[in-house]
Amino acid sequence: MNEIRRVAVVGAGQMGSGIAEVFARAGLDTIVCEKDPTALRAARGRIDRSLHRAVERGRIDPTDREDTWAHLLFADDLEALSDRQLVVEAVVEEEAVKTDVLTTLDKVLVAEDAVLATNTSAIPVTRLGIATTRASHVLGLHFFNPAPVLPLVELVSSLHTDRTVLERVETFARGTLGKRVIRSRDRAGFVVNSLLVPYLLSAVRMAEAGHATPEDIDAGMVHGCAHPMGPLALADLIGLDTVEAIARSLYEEYKEPLYAPPPLLSRMVEAGLLGRKSGRGFHVHRAG
């Protein structure tokens, strides 16, 4: 099979922008696809700020930043992705939306060996793959936020994913992207979120019950357990809507109470208090 050099990301949110930056910094011909022009403009700004921070912190030099931009294109139509070898779906964590994107991409992609990857945090890949005619070429490629900084990628094969496809993408993620890859079976939440989300939900329940303030809960884990960030600050970073969506997927799969979204979390999502991306969640956040 040919080396993967032509890639795309569908979805220009926080995760999609980060994945696109990872691809472009690796010298790949990268297209970011998003039908909303406002979201595309926001993605440009997000990537620009991220690259500036990378230069300031010495992770890349100014020449690398310019080279990254040279490898990025932006499009508002999935038809522009017809020649891609790998497309990563990074839209909102809703099964119906992801399925619609993957179904359309299945019709658009020309190469028979083109791979469709989903960045889902918790939705079983098998359910997404069977919405296409190429389930053997669909897998999970789950990056973590911020994607340009965190080294981990979860690689998830469905019951249909071809072994050679899995190995091809693992080689790509390890070699071309320089990521640390772990494999997971196709169960809701995979490895990381199956462990992480119950911890975050426990912190939400503690705040909901009034046992401690969000500030003290986070300080306890940062200063008492040497965590780099407290659970409620981390939930705000991930996005409370995303945390709730992952929790619902986990609860649907396992039916265990520890995975059920607490009422406080659901009310905050309904109120639009989503964390950093909305400016307020369990903490108040400055724009940018």
Q: Which of 119, 121, 157, 184 is catalytic?
A: 121
With residues binned 3-state (H G I as helix, E B as strand, rest as coil), the percentages for the chain, rounded to 5, are 50, 15, 35
CATH number of domain containing 264 = 1.10.1040.10
Q: Are residues 156 and 40 in the same domain?
A: yes
Strand bridging mode 29-33 / 72-75 = parallel
pLDDT per residue as tens digits for the range 22-67: 999 999 999 999 999 999 999 999 999 999 999 999 999 999 999 9
pLDDT per residue as tens digits for the range 86-131: 999 999 999 999 999 999 999 999 999 999 999 999 899 999 999 9
Q: How confident is the model at residue 288 (pLDDT cuts 50, 70, 90)?
A: low
User: Exposure string (b/e) for 36-57, b if CB count within 10 Å is 16 or more?
Assistant: eeebbebbeebbeebbeebeee
Percent of the chain with pLDDT over 90: 97
Where in the sequence is the domain holding 228, given as residue range(s)? 192-270
Q: Which residue has the tokens 């921070």?
A: 53
Longest dimension (CA), the chain: 57
For the chain, the straight-line distance linking the first and the last C-alpha, in angstroms and rounded, comes to: 41
Residue 284 domain-assigned?
A: no
Q: Are residues 62 and 174 in the same domain?
A: yes
Does the annotation mark 71 as catalytic? no
Q: Are residues 164 and 219 in the same domain?
A: no
Contact 172, 27 (CB under 8 A): no
Does the annotation mark 121 as catalytic? yes
Q: Which one, of 230, 227, 242, 231, lies nearest residue 278 by Cα?
A: 242
Residue 282 domain-assigned?
A: no
Q: Which of 193, 194, 244, 249 is catalytic?
A: 193
Q: Are residues 174 and 196 in the same domain?
A: no
Q: How confident is the model at residue 287 (pLDDT cuts 50, 70, 90)?
A: low
In the predicted model, what is the mean pLDDT of residues 17-23? 97
Does the annotation mark 193 as catalytic? yes
Contact 274, 240 (CB under 8 A): yes
Torsion of CA 140, 20, 27, 8, to 10 degrees: 60
Degrees to nearest 5, angle at CA 174 with 135 and 77 = 50
Q: How confident is the model at residue 2 (pLDDT cuts 50, 70, 90)?
A: confident
The residue among 122, 149, 184 that closes a domain is 184
pLDDT of 161 higher than 70:
yes
pLDDT of 1 higher than 70:
no
Q: Are residues 162 and 205 in the same domain?
A: no
Q: Are residues 31 and 122 in the same domain?
A: yes
Q: Which two tokens stand for residue 271?
A: 């109120």
Q: How confident is the model at residue 218 (pLDDT cuts 50, 70, 90)?
A: very high
Q: Which of 21, 89, 154, 244 is catalytic?
A: 154
Percent of the chain with pLDDT over 70: 99
In the predicted model, what is the mean pLDDT of residues 242-271? 96
pLDDT per residue as tens digits for the range 71-87: 999 999 999 999 999 99
Q: Which of 142, 157, 158, 249 is catalytic?
A: 142
Does the annotation mark 145 as catalytic? no
Query: Is the whole-model pTM more than 0.85?
Result: yes
